[in-house]
């Protein structure tokens, strides 16, 4: 298994009041009470925010809160359909339900966590840019001034490339 995991966490919630200031840099979505009683609709809303790529998920977790009835198997089926999964057989999404309502005015919420491989293209791009800057000696003198050796950068590039390679391998079916 990979040395590092990238978990994509997205939420949707229904509340009795609108937030004064929406959370910054957040995938949380505020929805009206129309979907408050339907965990499947709220889950579909969350799943719509996941990127549509050929990269698959290695594992998923769904957490619901504040619903009277949660059709767990239907919820799992919606997530299986909405987030592509690796073909080599990971367990189905794990669903957790909690009836407890929050005291902050939130009526209900759904959170989907996915250990997805869709981060790979982003990490590859960042690694390529960082390596290019390092080889051009950009900013290296600042790090050297504070005692950071160039070997640290080289090791970091090797470790990051190993993580990318492991995610690529995990995304491929066994032969």
For 72-94, the pLDDT digits (tens) are 888 888 888 888 787 776 677 77
Task: Give the range among 11-15, 46-50, 87-91, 115-119 with minimum mean pLDDT.
Answer: 87-91
pLDDT tens digits for range 90-108: 677 777 767 666 555 567 8
CA 12 to chain centroid, in Å, comes to: 14
Residue 31 pLDDT > 50, yes or no?
no
Q: Could you tell me which CATH number the domain at 7-116 has?
A: 3.30.1330.20
Range with top average pLDDT, 8-12, 72-76, 112-116, 141-145:
141-145
Arithmetic mean of pLDDT over the chain: 78
% the chain with pLDDT above 70: 73
Residue 175 pLDDT > 50, yes or no?
yes
Q: What is the mean pLDDT of residues 108-112?
A: 86
CA distance 36 to 70: 12
Report the alpha-carbon angle 20-26-28, nearest 5: 75
CA distance 10 to 110: 8
Pairing mode, if any, of strands 57-65 and 106-116?
antiparallel
Is the CB of residue 160 less than 8 Å from the CB of residue 123? yes
Domain locations in the chain as residue ranges = 7-116, 120-171
**Whole-prediction pTM value?**
0.65
């Amino acid at each position: 298994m990979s040395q590092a995991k990238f978990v994509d966490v997205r939420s949707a919630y229904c509340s009795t009041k609108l937030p004064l200031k929406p959370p910054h840099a957040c995938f949380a979505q505020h929805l009206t009470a129309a979907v408050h009683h339907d965990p499947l609709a709220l889950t579909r809303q969350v799943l719509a925010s996941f990127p549509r790529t050929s990269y698959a998920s290695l594992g998923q977790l769904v957490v619901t809160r504040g619903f009277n009835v949660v059709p767990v198997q239907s919820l799992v089926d919606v997530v299986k359909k909405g987030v592509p999964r690796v073909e080599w057989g990971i367990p189905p999404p794990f669903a957790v339900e909690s009836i407890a309502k929050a005291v902050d005015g939130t009526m209900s919420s759904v959170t989907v966590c996915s250990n997805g491989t869709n981060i790979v293209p982003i990490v590859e791009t960042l690694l390529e840019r960082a390596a290019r800057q390092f080889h051009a000696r950009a900013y290296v003198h600042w790090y050297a001034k504070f005692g950071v050796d160039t070997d640290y950068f080289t090791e970091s590039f090797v470790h990051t490339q190993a993580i990318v390679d492991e995610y690529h391998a995990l995304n491929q079916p066994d032969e």
